């Protein structure tokens, strides 16, 4: 895509809504245990480019392994539309489930495959 754009997105029931600014230039399909089971297609952005608009009270946090990433999901509908964590250098970041963005055609994106299962 190239040029950053502000997208809106959220969960299935609509309680969790957010906006994120990204160019969707690097989108990945990871085969780690959680991404594979959830069917995530992810983009990563600095937390400064993410704004939760509604639904903070509906979010449930799930952590596993090293307890570094917050795998957040809506407690009402169960959809995981974004997560949060830190880059290796400590910079706060958000993972965005591109499938949960409004009006994004996955077929128009170049999706990179990441072997998280082996990491």
Tens digit of pLDDT for each residue in 35-65? 999 999 999 999 999 999 999 999 999 998 8
Q: What is the DSSP letter of 15?
A: S
Residue 80 near residue 16, CB atoms below 8 Å: no
Pairing state of beta strands 42-46 and 5-10? unpaired
Q: What is the number of structural domains in the chain?
A: 1
CATH number of the domain where residue 54 is located: 2.170.150.70
pLDDT in tens, the chain (119 residues): 479 999 999 999 999 999 999 999 999 999 999 999 999 999 999 999 999 999 999 999 999 888 889 999 999 999 999 999 999 899 999 999 999 999 999 999 999 999 999 98
Q: Which pLDDT does position 46 carry in this prediction?
A: 97
Range of the domain at 42: 5-118
d(C-alpha 25, C-alpha 10), whole Å: 20
């Amino acid at each position: 895509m190239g040029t950053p754009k502000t997208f809106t997105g959220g969960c299935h029931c609509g309680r969790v809504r957010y906006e994120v600014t990204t160019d969707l230039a690097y989108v990945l399909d990871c085969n780690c245990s959680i991404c594979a089971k959830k069917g995530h297609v992810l983009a990563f952005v600095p937390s400064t480019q993410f704004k939760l608009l509604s639904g903070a009270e509906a979010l449930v946090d799930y952590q596993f392994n090293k307890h570094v990433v917050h795998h957040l999901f809506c407690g009402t509908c169960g959809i995981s539309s974004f997560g949060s964590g830190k880059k290796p250098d400590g910079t706060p970041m958000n993972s965005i489930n591109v499938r949960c963005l409004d009006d994004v055609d996955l077929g128009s994106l170049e999706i990179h495959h990441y072997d998280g299962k082996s990491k």
